Structure 1
């Protein structure tokens, strides 16, 4: 079972009409609804399962500028500003805590990559963030009780953490008080168009007329868009995580080493994972999209494991097109809840305890896994769809979505409202995968 998520009260009656329908109740959908509402637009958000039921509650909970792809950097800097004020603005508690994040290593090549990233990032963003290179002495001071002496790394005091199981539900509950309709469980089966433009969303409970629809369905987005004739390249990788029971002492700074990553939780425990290892289950889409992902696969050699299992047959059997007047897979599968790979999380815990031996009494409270939606270039799509006016897509955050989610939602709201965008959105356009642009995968970390 996935982590327990704070409940969100649901609206029951469908509205006849809204300005914008948002499809998906994760961090991207909820943030988009938040900033559309702030612009005075009427919004209904439809979620087939429950709010933050999939990857938005299953991630590490990091809110970081450090290590971002240069194409994401300015958007993340803006997102960090929004995180710093969200609790006060909405009168909620997301668990946001500016704890700092540290990357440390004993590998010279990795240290070189950190240095190269910092040089580029300072050129791109100037003094907008506070990352510094750190030596062994400084790392030891940041990690009291560590038994391993790390050669060096980079540290960003301004980076933070939040609580994935409570942040998105807290925003959703605040939105309901502001008049945004939160419809759950309410699967959207598809869209209706009039004169080529979006005119309505068709849900399992009826039709909602609208002028625009934002698809922020995470792992489901490619499948949903396929029924509209929109080719969105997106594959899923499975990340596995555990949390411990509360522990006394231990580091408060979140950190990533070569073999594990962690953050201190608000409940006193730790969220821990193998730092880099994920698994991609072979599916029909993996073969269909193989050549689009060649560069991404090259960049992930050694950390991305390939497996085949039940998902191949399940997805092979799914219809690729469907009518809107009958139940769909969205009603049949309310929440994706993949099984964690115990060997991965056990390895992360073992390495964490090796680094912090006085925490050797750590007891596992829960393990879980989630599907991370990944694009060929590992940066998101935040874009309108040219051939279907009124249709917008926000997906493919490639494991970086929780921290950047508020900024991504505000950028999406700007695009829908045709306002001045928060940042230049060109890098996030959907048609970059079909207009002949070269797929560039940065050596992210």
Structure 2
């Protein structure tokens, strides 16, 4: 049982089909969104997941759905995703918890102000709704409860939140209603090619003939690719999160400072995390992809802390190659379920209570952690692999994937079927990591 157990369950279909147009590997937010938009076009699609739908990072993230603060490469996709979240409120049988409750980025130093203002000047022409708030406007927005240390803030009223523990399952059920077939406890082992392109997926339950495969396996994607001889530079980063019991009197909008982030939940509690406090376990991939990640480490050294952890020893013993007729690493460990860093969460609770006294009364209902799939430029890969035609990557969302999951799924469906792309796929090309 994972440490984050309150996930909406999605039953598995049966039996495994012998053929499909497209097979999706991975039952997280991006995989199920891709399945939804492919099925909506009448494409025969099968999704296989080694554990359960949203068992890993797709249920463990903060639940933010934001355009604000994103890399400019992601902004068009983020804007498109907001509209898709809205549309699902009417179309899906099960709710996602999405609401446009607003997001506020507070600044406590002149340096922070300069960085946020510079971003706003760059992003505003792209259609972002963000605005700059002075201290009086912040106070009005928060009902007179703004901390005195805040000097200004970026605020986007149209940004929002959804509930990670129910959203991915709701979208998966929506995809199934459109004809997608979903198989859990069904690990994909590898691919087979025919005439130089994708011909089938080998799973632990059997082979599925297909014309295309989308790998949306999150933190497992690089390992899957290595067995195929495809070099995908990606590292796993551990983030710790907690949730409170229902807590009246706190802000309605999500809030981020340099120290802590929190957002109200549909149940009346809050999801809380310490900012810039991610653990990057030292593993073989840390050295394998060191040249790729050095620029990122230098630029974001305050956000990622290198540590020897239990993950270190586990990955030293994880094979990078395997036979298709034998159990693989995806079957011997079906879920990444790391322990949270308790000290980080204790610190986060203290800091939030210092700024919002109502949180001094908060009861912590649950703490958990997840492994985030990170690329060297912190931007996802959504592209076909040139060396294996018909094999597509949708991974490396670097902690940003939940909010842009709908847009990413739509874009992947566009790429696979040859439709006009929802947004330009150029920033997400796999070739940018070629060596």
Q: Normalising to structure 2: TM-score of the pair?
A: 0.98
Match of residue 88 from structure 2: 86
Match of residue 328 from structure 1: 328
- Shift of the alpha carbon at 1:345? 1.3
* Aligned mates of 1:341, 1:150 — CA distance in 2: 27
1:359 aligns with 2:356: no
- Shift of the alpha carbon at 1:3? 4.2
Deviates more, 1:352-361 or 1:330-339: 352-361
Deviates more, 1:239-248 or 1:298-307: 298-307
Alpha carbons 1:82, 1:407 under 8 Å: kept: yes
Match of residue 256 from structure 1: 256
1:66 aligns with 2:68: yes
After TM superposition, the structure 1 = structure 2 runs for residues 23-62 of structure 1, keeping only pairs within 5 Å, are 23-62=25-64
- Select which of 72, 75, 78 maps to 1:76: 78
Number of residue-to-residue matches in the alignment:
432
Match of residue 129 from structure 2: 130
Match of residue 114 from structure 2: 112
- Shift of the alpha carbon at 1:265? 0.3
* Aligned mates of 2:111, 2:168 — CA distance in 1: 37
Query: Deviation digits for residues 115-169 of structure 1, max 9, x if unmatched?
Result: 110111123x1xx231001111111122233444410010000000000000000
Deviates more, 1:253-262 or 1:172-181: 172-181
Alpha carbons 1:11, 1:181 under 8 Å: kept: yes
* Aligned mates of 1:387, 1:359 — CA distance in 2: 53
Counterpart secondary structure, 2:242: strand
Alpha carbons 1:3, 1:57 under 8 Å: kept: no
Counterpart secondary structure, 1:70: coil
Match of residue 272 from structure 1: 272
Aligned CA RMSD, in angstroms, stands at 1.1
Match of residue 150 from structure 1: 150
Query: Deviation digits for residues 397-433 of structure 1, max 9, x if unmatched?
Result: 0110000110011001000001111111111011111
- Shift of the alpha carbon at 1:356? 1.0
* Aligned mates of 1:347, 1:221 — CA distance in 2: 32
Match of residue 442 from structure 1: none
Which runs of no fewer than 5 residues in structure 2 stay unpaired?
none
Alpha carbons 1:136, 1:151 under 8 Å: kept: yes
Alpha carbons 2:237, 2:279 under 8 Å: kept: yes
After TM superposition, the structure 1 = structure 2 runs for residues 78-227 of structure 1, keeping only pairs within 5 Å, are 78-123=80-125, 125=126, 128-144=127-143, 145-227=145-227
Alpha carbons 1:52, 1:169 under 8 Å: kept: yes
- Shift of the alpha carbon at 1:46? 0.2
- Shift of the alpha carbon at 1:303? 2.3
- Shift of the alpha carbon at 1:317? 1.3
Query: Deviation digits for residues 303-360 of structure 1, max 9, x if unmatched?
Result: 2111002222211111111100011111111111011001111111111111111331
Match of residue 443 from structure 1: none
1:414 aligns with 2:426: no
After TM superposition, the structure 1 = structure 2 runs for residues 365-376 of structure 1, keeping only pairs within 5 Å, are 365-376=365-376
* Aligned mates of 2:310, 2:92 — CA distance in 1: 42
After TM superposition, the structure 1 = structure 2 runs for residues 223-234 of structure 1, keeping only pairs within 5 Å, are 223-234=223-234
Alpha carbons 2:92, 2:170 under 8 Å: kept: no
* Aligned mates of 2:320, 2:192 — CA distance in 1: 18
* Aligned mates of 1:313, 1:104 — CA distance in 2: 39
Match of residue 22 from structure 1: 24
Q: Normalising to structure 1: TM-score of the pair?
A: 0.95
Counterpart secondary structure, 2:191: strand
* Aligned mates of 2:180, 2:335 — CA distance in 1: 23
Counterpart secondary structure, 1:251: coil
Alpha carbons 1:142, 1:253 under 8 Å: kept: no
Alpha carbons 2:40, 2:178 under 8 Å: kept: no
Which runs of no fewer than 5 residues in structure 1 stay unpaired?
436-445
